[in-house]
Amino acid sequence: MKMKIMTLGIAACATVANAGAFFSEVEDNNSIAMANDIGSFDTPGGSVAIDGTITRSDVDWFSFTLDNTASLSFFAAFSVGNGDGIMQLVTDSGDVIAFDDDSGVGLMPAIQVENLAAGTYYLAFGGFGDVDSTSVDTDELADGLSHTEDFGYKLSIGFSIVPAPGALALFGMGGIVMTRRRR
């Protein structure tokens, strides 16, 4: 059953345009100031697969920039074993806009956001007990403290970015080129 869900997650990654990039976390990334930058994303979007480890009192922060509004953004974690992860999505100004505990596979978190505006964001991946759902109201940031989880994880991140109206002409030209190639 778990394998089936994982397959679905990978299929979801594949629907995001651009070949996926791979990234291994680099410690110390235990605060927003020390976040690992996973890059900028523009039309048509892209995906990143992250390899990481959560140890006792550890939290991993990642940053990314959207050059245009992402119609759909997803963040999903996978782990072997019984690790219990949590995830937080934070704006550049420190506003916690999403938290999840167990929406993913097993006790792993998953977050899906529609219409995420252009800008820089921070994603925290940590252990259960660090922060909870009240952080969306209090803006308490994950700091690694008050959790004893210890597990390896893979984090799947994807963005689907629809061209802005001004870019539609260019998009049309791309379509003509493709038609010619088929002939």
Binding site residues, Ca ion, CB under 5 A = 29-30, 53, 58, 60, 84, 101-102, 107, 128, 130, 143, 145-146
Q: Kindly state the smallest distance separating residue 28's Cβ from Ca ion, in Å.
A: 6
> Residue 56 — left, alpha, or beta (φ > 0 → left; ψ -120 to 50 → alpha)?
beta
* Rounded CA separation 85/179 (Å): 46
* Rounded CA separation 149/131 (Å): 13
Q: Kindly state the smallest distance separating residue 149's Cβ from Ca ion, in Å.
A: 9
Strand partners, 50: 23, 155
45/147 with CB nearer Ca ion: 147
7/138 with CB nearer Ca ion: 138
41/128 with CB nearer Ca ion: 128
107/155 with CB nearer Ca ion: 107
Sorted by sequence, the CB contacts under 8 Å of residue 172 that are 6+ apart come out as: none
Q: Kindly state the smallest distance separating residue 3's Cβ from Ca ion, in Å.
A: 19
Residue 124 per-residue DSSP state: E
Q: Kindly state the smallest distance separating residue 24's Cβ from Ca ion, in Å.
A: 10
